[in-house]
Structure 1
């Protein structure tokens, strides 16, 4: 197994590991060993959020791993109910205290919340202050389409370094990726192996799981890899930053073991062709402070 992920250079020169561990839906009890295991396996990017309810456990997992803080890239996110300039600064302090860290590597706004754009802009300006004060190394957003991102960039000073969006073979977000690339924004993939299509499905039996698609299964068989490894390798070769979630030690190791092979162009194109244009998660245009209450 390769011991280190390649790095992506953000638009402010900071280097971010391309592949990380996500902890969405990881219970507090599961999070500590998952983070500790991932870091011992070679992961150096851990992605959490205030809304996940496990920032404290992420910090504990980091401390138990024995890996030096400066070698780990830690991301958390501002939740919708804390949008606003002063409330965002206060929420950041709370997140940092829960994590038990002195600084954050990346701070993201969790949703664009277009219905309350002024609050979104004020929150991002608070993130800009945190960046200027050296309390974070980079700032960015989640779930922003081109229109959301254009509106934000027009009203603020710092172009987001990262845009974290739902992205997997059945929802490839080419328009978002193209816009991000033109503006020197790294696209980061949540639910990179398509789990959102399973855990958010109204009818689980009708769920569309990319890992069971014949195209991906056949490619995996040809490389002696698992379907998940094929999909994660697809992300890496597109210059994306996948953050797969797992709390199982063998899956955490498996998801990181994707740097010893290369997909040829025809296989990359075959996976690209699986796009349905249908998202599995919420529509960012419809998400606001009261959506999940």
Structure 2
């Protein structure tokens, strides 16, 4: 029996499964069986992006699943080179076509790319997409507090989500507080630190042994209890199923504090949003 995944509610009333399936670095053909496995395991939230090159494969997997569209939550993202009002609208049309969908549930600006100075105009195009009902919610990814504040000053729809790198080695407490202050859900990508070793940490391994779970399950449970939206990624069927099986145990306050103690000043694995440029990899 598939796990029952809790729902989070966005600031516009839209609900989303708290744990979803990420498909970064999964090829367009490989993504089809991966998404099929995820859907069979109980995932109903799929997170892709234009730059991943697999929107079409995600769309094929969804179409072949037989699951009603209203029972699925699909996120995609606008790539850096397409920022700007008119180019955003064209890029969104192209994403919908590749996905084979009439709407997405969440559309995100992938990076702020502050050097380009286009994310406000880009978000205004997002507001039109949202007003037209073609995205049920809109948001941002990799936005730091100063990017968020500038965006909020210039636009009218508060982002539903800010999707950022977040894991026990890089917990972004200040950013999560700013998100919460504005009613923005924080979504964690690279939740297991993309191989940087969080699942090999002795404290995490000890907690896993104590709970009869894997280290990855302990870390994902930590995210869930923090209130994060979380999107682990794997193409291994056993791990895909394992990653969603985190709703039958609970970490104590002491357990949560142990994980909180793993935060590091140098914990970031991915790019710095303040220097990420238009053509850099995702």
Q: Per the shorter chain, which TM-score range?
A: over 0.9
How far residue 24 of structure 1 moved from its aligned partner, in angstroms, is: 0.2
For 2:96, the equivalent position in structure 1 comes to 96
Matched, 1:290 2:258: no
Paired residue secondary structure (1:122): helix
For 1:166, the equivalent position in structure 2 comes to 165
Q: Distance in 1 between matches of 2:254 and 2:124?
A: 43
Matched, 1:254 2:242: yes
How many residues are matched? 281
5 Å matches for 1:117-136? Answer: 117=117, 119-136=118-135
Q: Distance in 1 between matches of 2:135 and 2:232?
A: 23
Matched, 1:139 2:138: yes
How far residue 27 of structure 1 moved from its aligned partner, in angstroms, is: 1.3
Paired residue secondary structure (2:112): coil
Q: Distance in 2 between matches of 1:100 and 1:173?
A: 35
1:79-125 alpha-carbon deviations (Å, 9 max, x no partner): 000000000000000000000001100000000111122x1111110
5 Å matches for 1:53-202? Answer: 53-117=53-117, 119-195=118-194, 198=195
Matched, 1:233 2:232: no
Paired residue secondary structure (1:33): helix
For 2:28, the equivalent position in structure 1 comes to 28
For 2:207, the equivalent position in structure 1 comes to 219
Paired residue secondary structure (2:136): strand
How far residue 247 of structure 1 moved from its aligned partner, in angstroms, is: 0.8
How far residue 2 of structure 1 moved from its aligned partner, in angstroms, is: 4.9
For 1:41, the equivalent position in structure 2 comes to 41
Question: Do the aligned residues in 1 keep the contact of 2:2 with 2:41 (CA within 8 Å)?
Answer: no
For 1:204, the equivalent position in structure 2 comes to none
Aligned counterpart for 1:281 among listed residues 263, 270, 276: 270
TM-score using structure 1 length: 0.94
Q: Distance in 2 between matches of 1:83 and 1:182?
A: 27
For 2:17, the equivalent position in structure 1 comes to 17
How far residue 291 of structure 1 moved from its aligned partner, in angstroms, is: 3.1
TM-score using structure 2 length: 0.98
How far residue 288 of structure 1 moved from its aligned partner, in angstroms, is: 2.0
Paired residue secondary structure (2:191): coil
